[in-house]
Structure 1
């Protein structure tokens, strides 16, 4: 995959790999080249940046070539590295789950703002847990909380459980493969969900890293992108404890439609936190008070 040979320097490998990644329309090609070569050599990208004259070991050349080939085919970087940072956590990822993204950290911010007492003994539910990123991030900030993560994909639930163990949170979490709320009884103080919300017809037009390599079940929100929100709106009134809050991730432009579904189901929109790009991303909901007004926005 690369013309560089064992015995050549880091700088030579990075120069060629950067050119190839740029030609493949990969953003930040030099940075990604460093990440790939660092992964192959077992060192940090910062180490490579400090010493471009370091010789690439022979045993790293094949690993680098395979990793570069995968990235040129638009396999997500996180899948190649096997890991992704989220909040303060280091999480394993796999093709069975969505890759955690910085935009989703707005849900963690919204959840913590809804329950500012760090010692609150919260009961937390994460529907469509994937890697477990949302649930584990909240548990890491609320040491007396306990959470359950549910995913329809058994491989995702298993990965989330492994991430909980790796981050020291296995004792305060449980994960199961089930049809979301269908297997649950009882109520929760906080319900989190990053549901599938892409319109079915739009999936093929997404960037190839997403369209080709992330699980369709976690992307496809039906013809209008709202199928999962309809299910959530119907389930949340029974899942939320008194004073409970649900925080849902939204796709761009979906706020009004999801708020409408929520109101119809007896839920009250509280706030909507934007992501770093200014997109309405984290919608917080509560149950309407019994006998209260139709809307208390």
Structure 2
């Protein structure tokens, strides 16, 4: 559908409530995928309306009767058109996303922030990690830098190294690190896993690496196809990054160090490759696993 046709279909909409209802209905009928941060068509519509009006989504209920100006209507409809017809994720349209309660800049150079590790970061990986002993942290595959920033804030006495193979992603991470005032505590490095870190050792290594296998990549919704292929695809079995990471990490852990990995649906494939590896699986508050940790002392056995 062309933009002009889309505008004509929305003729007569005037208030925030009109647009909120319209966006929710359009998104539901179109079957958009809502798993990249907002979870429901209603929440997606609210985010797009609010940010196009320089508001927050929680402001909308009390302003639902407010009528939009002509320019505001155009701005909201443009966002709806991108979301429904072009299937751009809301985070890319707004160039913002949230992780661990923090706002980040994002665009198509990076994966939209989301991770099974988020609640565990907020808890400091207790009881497995002793905060007082964490002085150096490494994050592998930093993307937007959201996890590096969250780790730096959760472990305020630690220095953080954050690496990514993509120079484009590192440019986004640099912007987010600066916006959170953490340039002195987070060092960014272009690196394929540990390649740029010879001899470096850490108390905590954290990674949400690519782990989507070939079959799952072929079935991804259109929204996910707008994210960097490099940040998702992990070969036929989803282990293209996980295996070399698990193999190399012990040499980069200090005594008592901890490796934390998100494995997602590659959990079973990893277990089939390393059935005897003493992985500790982390149960997500919403249910299920898909993330694990490995203690340095155990990996040496």
CA contact (8 A) 2:133 2:203 kept: no
Q: Distance in 2 between matches of 1:180 and 1:80?
A: 30
Instruction: Pick the aligned partner of 2:31 from 3, 25, 28.
Output: 25
Match status 1:14 vs 2:23: no
Q: Deviations over 1:43-84 (max 9, x none)?
A: 122222112221112222222122111110321111111111
Match status 1:178 vs 2:184: no
CA contact (8 A) 1:151 1:180 kept: yes
Return the TM-score normalized by structure 2: 0.86
Match status 1:138 vs 2:151: yes
Q: C-alpha displacement at 1:260, in angstroms?
A: 5.9
Match status 1:98 vs 2:107: no
Q: C-alpha displacement at 1:104, in angstroms?
A: 3.0
Return the TM-score normalized by structure 1: 0.87
Instruction: Pick the aligned partner of 1:281 from 262, 286, 290.
Output: 290
Number of residue pairs the alignment of both structures matches? 286
Decide which moves more: 219-228 or 89-98: 89-98
Match status 1:205 vs 2:219: yes
Output the aligned Cα RMSD: 2.4
**Alignment partner of 1:37: what SS?**
helix
Match status 1:215 vs 2:228: yes
Q: Distance in 2 between matches of 1:6 and 1:171?
A: 52
Q: C-alpha displacement at 1:256, in angstroms?
A: 4.9
CA contact (8 A) 1:125 1:148 kept: yes
Q: Distance in 1 between matches of 2:264 and 2:13?
A: 48
Q: Rate the CA distance shift 1:281–1:109 in 2: closer, same or farther, 3 A.
A: farther
Match status 1:51 vs 2:63: yes
Match status 1:42 vs 2:42: no
Instruction: Pick the aligned partner of 2:259 from 229, 235, 246.
Output: 246
Q: Distance in 2 between matches of 1:177 and 1:6?
A: 51
**Alignment partner of 1:94: what SS?**
coil
Unaligned runs of at least 5 residues, structure 1: none
Q: Distance in 2 between matches of 1:7 and 1:199?
A: 44
